[in-house]
Amino acid sequence: MPSNAAEDEPERSEDKDPKGHKAESSEPGPDASASRERKQKKQRSFWKELPILIVVALVLAFLIQQFLARVYMIPSGSMEQTLHGCAGCTPDRILVDKITYDFTDPEPGDVVVFRGPPAWIEGDLPPEESDNAVANFFQSIGSVFGLAPPDERDFVKRIIATGGQTVECCDDQNRVLVDGKPLDEPYIYWQGAHEQAEFDPVEVPEGTVWVMGDNRNNSSDSRYQGDGGARGAVPVDNIIGKARFIVLPPSRWGTVSDHNPQAASASAMSAPAWQQGVPLGIGVLAAWPTLLVGRRLGAAVRGTVRRGR
Kindly list the distances between the CA atom of residue 184 and the CA atoms of 79, 130, 242, 286, in Å, as whole numbers in the listed order. 17, 44, 20, 35
Closest CA to 257 of 245, 249, 267: 245
| pLDDT per residue as tens digits for the range 261-292 | 998 654 434 445 445 455 555 555 555 565 56
pLDDT digits (tens, 9 = 90+) for 178-236: 999 999 999 999 988 889 989 999 999 999 999 999 999 999 999 999 888 999 999 99
pLDDT for residue 95 is more than 70:
yes
At 90, the pLDDT band (50, 70, 90 cuts) reads confident
Task: Give the mean pLDDT of 139-159.
Answer: 67
| Catalytic residue list | 78, 157
Task: In whole angstroms, give the CA distance from residue 25 to residue 20.
Answer: 15
Whether 61 has a pLDDT exceeding 80, the answer reads no
What span, in angstroms and rounded, lies between the C-alpha atoms of 30 and 26? 13
Q: 4-55, pLDDT tens digit by residue?
A: 444 444 444 444 455 555 444 455 555 656 666 666 655 557 677 777 777 7
Query: What is the rounded CA–CA span in Å between residue 278 and residue 103?
Result: 9
User: Which residues lie across from 176 on neighbouring strands?
Assistant: 169
At residue 224, the pLDDT reads 94
